[in-house]
Amino acid sequence: MITRILTGLIAVASVLLVSCSPYPEHPNRGPKSAVQPSAAQAEQAKLQAQQEAKKRAEEEKRMQAQAEQKIIEPVHEREVSPPDKPTPVEPKRFDWPTAKKVPGKEGVVLSPYNNMQVSIRNEDGTLIPSHTLVSDPTYPPSEKKRFFVP
C-alpha cells in the first residue's frame, strides 16, 4: 500500500511541478502584437531593409541616367577670339624663280633677285641637287627669298 501512496504522491508532485513552469507559446499563435521578435528575426529584417534601400538607390540612379540621356542640351557656339599675333604662313608658291649657272664655276649660281653669286654647296661641301628649293642667303629669312637650283 505504501507503494501506491508513494506513486500517487510522485504523480501529484510532478503535475504540480509541470503546471508551475512556464509553457513556451508557439510564435504563430495569438495576436502578433503579443509576440516579440527574436534577435535573428530582427537582424533578418534589418538585412531586408538594407537590400530594399540598395534596390531603391540603384533604381533612382538608373532613372537619372535615363533622364540624362533624354535631355538634349542646347548647343552653344563657342566664341573664338583671334590670336594676338597672326602666325606667319608661308604662301604655297610653285612659281619660285630658278637661279642661273655661273659659267666656269661649279657649285655657284646667280641669284634671280639681285644677280649676286651664291654658293649651292652644303655645309659638308657636297652640291645641293638640282630642282631643290633653297633660300637666298643675301636676304634675311623673314623676306623668304627662295629659288630653285638649276
DSSP letters, 137-148, are TTS-GGG--EEE
How is residue 58 written as a grid cell?
A: 540603384
| Residues contacting 137, CB < 8 A, separation 6+ | 118
Banded model confidence at residue 37, pLDDT cuts 50, 70, 90: low
- What is the average pLDDT across 13-31? 67
Whether the per-residue pLDDT at 76 is higher than 70: the answer is no
Q: Are strands 133-135 and 117-119 parallel, antiparallel or unpaired?
A: unpaired
Q: Identify the pLDDT of residue 44.
A: 87
Whether the per-residue pLDDT at 86 is higher than 80: the answer is no
| Residues contacting 149, CB < 8 A, separation 6+ | 98, 99, 109, 120, 128, 129, 130, 131, 132, 134
DSSP labels for 61-108? HHHHHHHHHH--PPPPPPP-PPPSSPPP-----S---B-EEPTT-TTE
Banded model confidence at residue 129, pLDDT cuts 50, 70, 90: very high
